[in-house]
Structure 1
Amino acid sequence: MRDTRESRLLLVLLIAIAFALITVDIRGGENSPLDSARRAAASAFGPVENGVASAVDPIGNAIGAVRDSDARHNRIADLERENAALKARLGSDDRTRGRAAELDKMLKTAGAGRYGIKGAEVIAIGAAQGFSWTVTIDAGSDDGIARDMTVLNGDGLVGRVTTVSPSTSTVLLANDPDFTVGTRMEKTAELGFATGQGDRPLRLQLLNSKAKVRKGDRLITFGSRADRPFVPGVPVGEVIRVDPLGNDLTRTLQVRPFVGFTKLDIVGIVVQPPRKDPRDTVLPPPAKPKPTPTVTVTATPSAGGSADPSGSASPSAAGATPAGGGATPAPSPTRS
C-alpha cells in the first residue's frame, strides 16, 4: 500500500474503532456485547493456536533442556570439586592424625627420659654436607639448636646434629657408616660401640668378648661427656645376630635399630639433658614371648596287643617271649 493521505486516515480510523470496542468491552464486563464475537473468534482460531503450540513446544522443550543440561553440568562439576576437596581433607586428616600420634609417642619417650626437646620436621634428605645418610630439619640456631645435640623420635636414637644454620640443621643418621655411638646393654650393662652400616643392621662391638649375649637383647646409649653428642638412656636397637666367639678382644653383634631411617618425619632435638641417667627406663616393656603349641599323642591299643608309651607295640599272648629269652614253639595241629 502506498503511503497516501487516504491510507493514513484509514489507519487512524481503525485505531479509533479498536479503542472504542475495547472501552465498550471493558465497561460491559460479563454482559459485553462483544462476548459472542470473542467466543466465535476463539472457536475459529483455537485449533490454529493449538497446532502452532504443538509445533513450537518441542523446540521450546529442547531449548529448555539445553539450558537445564548446562545447569546440571555445572552442578555435577561443583559436586566433583566438592568431592575432591573432601577426599583431600580426609587424606589430610589421616596424615594429621598419624603425625599427632607420632608426636605423642615422641613426647612420651622424652618424658620417660626427662629430656628437654625441641620438635622439628624433616624437610629434606641427602648428602647436603657430603654425608651419605643425612636429613635436614626445619630448626636451627634461632631455635636454640647447636652442633652435637642428640636427635631422637618416639622409637629411639635418630642421630646427631652436625651443621647448624639460623633456620635449619643437618642431622647425621645413626645408620651412617661414619656414625658411632657408645652403648649399654639392657640388664647386663655391658658396654660397646655401635656403628652404622647404611641399609644393613648396626654393627656392635662389645668390650667384653666373653659377655653373654643372646638374640633379642636390647641396648641404649651410654652417654657422652657433658652429654654431647649423646645423652644417656636413648633406645638404640635390638640384637638380631650374635657372631661366634673368636680370638678378638671384643665381641661383634648385629643390631636392628628401633628407628626406621627411611620414614622419618617428626623428630626431637635434645636441648636439655636429663639430670641423672635414666638407664633402661626409656625402653618400652619387652614383648611377651608367644606360647609354643605342644602336641600330645595318645596311644590306642591294637587288637593283637597294646602300645607302650615309647611307641613300640607289646607282644601278644600267642607270640610272647618268656623271661628266659627262649622262644616258645607254636603247638602242632592234631588229627581227630
Structure 2
Amino acid sequence: MRDTRESRLLLVLLIAIAFALITVDIRKAEQSPMDSARHVAASAFGPVENGVSAAVDPVGNSIAAVRDSGVRHDRISRLEAENAKLKQRLGSSDRHRARSQELDRLLKTAGAGGYGLKGAQVIGIGSAQGFSWTVTIDAGTKDGLARDMTVINGDGLVGRVTTVSSSTATVLLANDPDFSVGTRMEKSSELGFATGRGGDAMTVQLLNGKANVKKGDRIVTFGSRNNKPFVPGVPVGTVSKVDRTAGDLTRSVNVRPFVSFSKLDIVGVVVQPPRTDPRDDVLRAKKPPKPKPAPTVTVTKTPKPDASESRS
C-alpha cells in the first residue's frame, strides 16, 4: 500500500473509530456492544487457549516444584548447619565442663596436701627417648619448673619432670618400668618402693616381709630428702593383689594407680613443697568410690493347700 494522502486519512479514521469503540465499551460495561464480538472470539479461540494451557501447566508446575524443592533443600542444609554448630558448641561446653571439674579436683588435692602448684596441660604423648611412658606439658623453666619436680593431678601421682626447656617439659609417668618412688601405707605406715609396670599397673615392694597388708589398702608417697624428686603424701593407688609368698624379707603387692595414665589432660607441677608432711590428709580428702548396689531378689511364697482340700 502506497503512502498517499488517502491512505493516511484512512489510518486516522480507523484509529478514531477504535478509540470510539473503546470509550463506548468502558462506559457501558454491563451491556457493551462488544460483548457479542467477545463471545465470538471466545468461542473461536477458547479451545486453542485451553490446549495451550494444558500443555504449558505441567511445565510450569515442574518449574515451581523444582523451585520449591530448591528452597526446601536450602532450608534443610541451613538447619543441618545450625545443628552441627549447636553440637559443636555443646561438645565444647562438655570439654570445658570436664576440664573445670578436673581443675577443681587438682586444686582440692593441692589444698589438702599444702602443695604449691604450677598448672599445665598435656600437649604430647611419648617422646624421642625410646619407648618410655612420657608426656609433654606446656610449661617450662620460664614458669619455674625444674628437673625432678613432682607432677600430680586431681587423682594423685602422675610422675616426675625429667627434662625441661623454656616453655615445655617432659614428664616420666609413674607407670613406666624405669620409674621408682618411696611409698608409705595408709594407717600402718609400712614403707616400700613402687615401680611401674606399664598400662595401669604398679608394683610395691614392702620392706617388711611380714607386713599386714590386704586388698584395698591405700598408698601414698613417702617423700625424700629436700622433697626431691617427690613430695610426701601424694596418693599413689590401692592394693589390688598381695603376694602370699612366705619366708621372704620383703613382700610384693600389686597396686592399681589412682591416675588413669591414658586420659591425662590437666596436671600440676609441685613448685613449692608442703611445710609439713600431710600424711594421709590428701587420702581423707578423696571421696571413696560409691559401692555398687546389691542386686534385688524377689521371693515369691507358694500358698499351702487347704487342709479340707487335702483330706478330700
For the superposition of Structure 1 and Structure 2, which TM-score range results when normalised by the shorter chain? 0.7 to 0.9
1:239 and 1:122 map into 2 onto residues whose CA distance is 28
Task: Tell me if the contact between 1:220 and 1:233 (Cα under 8 Å) persists in the aligned partners.
Answer: yes
Deviations 1:102-122 (A, max 9, x none): 222222111211222222221
Bigger shift: 23-32 or 273-282?
Answer: 23-32
User: Relative to structure 2, which stretch is displaced further, 182-191 or 141-150?
Assistant: 141-150
**Pair 1:40 & 2:36 matched:** yes
Determine the structure 1 residue equivalent to 2:307.
none
Question: Are positions 1:25 and 2:22 aligned together?
Answer: yes
Amino acid at match of 2:207: L
Conserved in 2, the CA contact under 8 Å of 1:25 and 1:33? no
Contact 1:243 1:251 in 2 (8 A): yes
Q: Given the superposition, is the C-alpha separation of residues 32 and 177 from structure 1 closer, same or farther in structure 2, using an over 3 Å criterion?
A: closer
CA contact (8 A) 1:113 1:281 kept: yes
Measure, in 2, the Cα distance between the counterparts of 1:131 and 1:33: 102
1:281 and 2:281 correspond:
yes
In the other structure, the counterpart of 2:186 is 186
DSSP 3-state at the match of 2:122: strand
Does the residue aligned with 2:117 lie in a helix, a strand or coil?
strand
Q: Is the 8 A contact 1:122 1:135 kept in 2?
A: yes
* Structure 1 position 176, deviation (Å): 0.5
1:142 maps to which residue? 142
- Tell me the C-alpha RMSD between the 2 structures: 3.1
Q: Tell me which residue corresponds to 1:82.
A: 82
State the structure with more CA Rg.
Answer: 1
Query: TM-score scaled by structure 1?
Result: 0.75
TM-score normalised by L of structure 2: 0.81
Offset from partner CA, 1:152-192 (integer Å, 9 cap, x none): 11110000111112222111000111100011111111211
| Aligned-pair CA distance for 1:27 | 8.4
Deviations 1:27-83 (A, max 9, x none): 88424799321x334323346355133432222222121222222222222222222
After superposition, give the CA deviation of every residue in 1:229-269 in whole Å (9 maximum; x if it has no partner): 21111100111222225443322221111111112122111
Match runs of 1:1-336 below 5 Å = 5-6=2-3, 14=11, 17-18=14-15, 21-22=18-19, 25-26=22-23, 29-31=26-28, 35-37=32-34, 39-46=35-42, 48=45, 50-51=49-50, 52-199=52-199, 201-283=201-283, 284=286, 286=288
Matched to 1:270, the amino acid is V
Tell me the SS of whatever aligns to 2:172.
Answer: strand
Q: Distance in 2 between matches of 1:90 and 1:105?
A: 23
Task: Specify the SS of the correspondent of 2:146.
Answer: coil
Query: For the Cα contact (< 8 Å) 2:24–2:32, is it kept in 1?
Result: no
Deviations 1:206-233 (A, max 9, x none): 2222222122111101112222221111
The one-letter code sitting in structure 2 at the alignment partner of 1:240 is S
Deviations 1:305-330 (A, max 9, x none): xxxxxxxxxxxxxxxxxxxxxxxxxx
The letter for the 2-side match of 1:172 is L
Structure 1, 6-15 or 183-192: larger mean CA deviation? 6-15
- Where 1:282 maps in the other structure, the secondary structure is helix
Deviations 1:4-39 (A, max 9, x none): 6349985895477347634773588424799321x3
Residue 95 of structure 2 aligns to which amino acid in structure 1?
R
Task: After superposing the two structures, state which structure 1 stretch, 169-178 or 270-279, moved more.
Answer: 270-279
Compute the displacement of 1:201 (Å): 2.5
For residues 127 and 43 of structure 1, the distance between their equivalents in structure 2, rounded to whole angstroms, comes to 95
CA offset at residue 196 of structure 1? 0.8
Q: 1 or 2, which has the higher helix percentage?
A: 2
Q: 1 CA distance for matches of 2:6 and 2:70?
A: 52
| Structure 2 CA distance for partners of 1:90 and 1:45, relative to 1, 3 Å | farther
1: CA distance between counterparts of 2:5 and 2:278?
115
- Which moves more between the two structures, 273-282 or 138-147? 138-147
CA distance in 1, matches of 2:9, 2:137: 93
Equivalent pair of 2:200/2:257 in contact (CA under 8 Å): no
1:139 to 1:25, Cα distance in 2 relative to 1, 3 A: same
Aligned-partner residue type, residue 210 of structure 2: K
Shift of the alpha carbon at 1:149?
1.2
